[in-house]
């Protein structure tokens, strides 16, 4: 059981690393590579999405795993969110 858990952690971390490095995740290829079902790979992707959503508030970076229909794989879409709104920045500049 411990080995199964380590396999899952390693698999999820490898998928996360692949996304962070700009790679595409193809469920069928990953399923064969890790000897799991495509549904398991989908669950792993869902867990990564949940992790990214929880951490969005802390780091100001909005990460989302999206399905790219043209390339038929999952990729990471990243955008930066400003921690201050434009009116807030203007108000601070006026006070200085």
Query: What's 54's domain CATH number?
Result: 1.10.10
pTM: predicted TM-score of the whole model, two decimal places: 0.75
Structural domain harbouring 35: 2-95
Tell me the per-residue pLDDT of 6-58, one tens digit each, with 9 for 90 and over.
899 999 999 999 999 999 999 999 999 999 999 999 999 999 999 988 877 66
In this predicted structure, the answer to whether residue 1 has a pLDDT above a threshold of 60 is no
The pLDDT value recorded for residue 41 is 97
The pLDDT value recorded for residue 82 is 56
The pLDDT value recorded for residue 6 is 80
- R_g (Cα) of the chain, nearest Å: 18
The pLDDT value recorded for residue 65 is 93
Domain tally, the chain? 1
């Amino acid at each position: 059981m411990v080995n199964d858990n380590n396999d899952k952690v390693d698999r999820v971390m490898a998928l996360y690393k692949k996304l962070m490095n700009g790679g595409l995740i193809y469920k069928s290829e990953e399923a064969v590579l890790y000897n799991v079902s495509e549904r398991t790979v989908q669950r792993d992707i869902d867990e990564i999405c949940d992790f990214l959503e929880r951490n969005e508030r802390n780091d100001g970076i909005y990460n989302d795993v999206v399905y790219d229909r043209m390339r038929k794989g999952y990729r990471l879409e990243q955008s930066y969110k400003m921690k201050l709104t434009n009116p807030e920045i203007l108000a601070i500049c006026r006070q200085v």
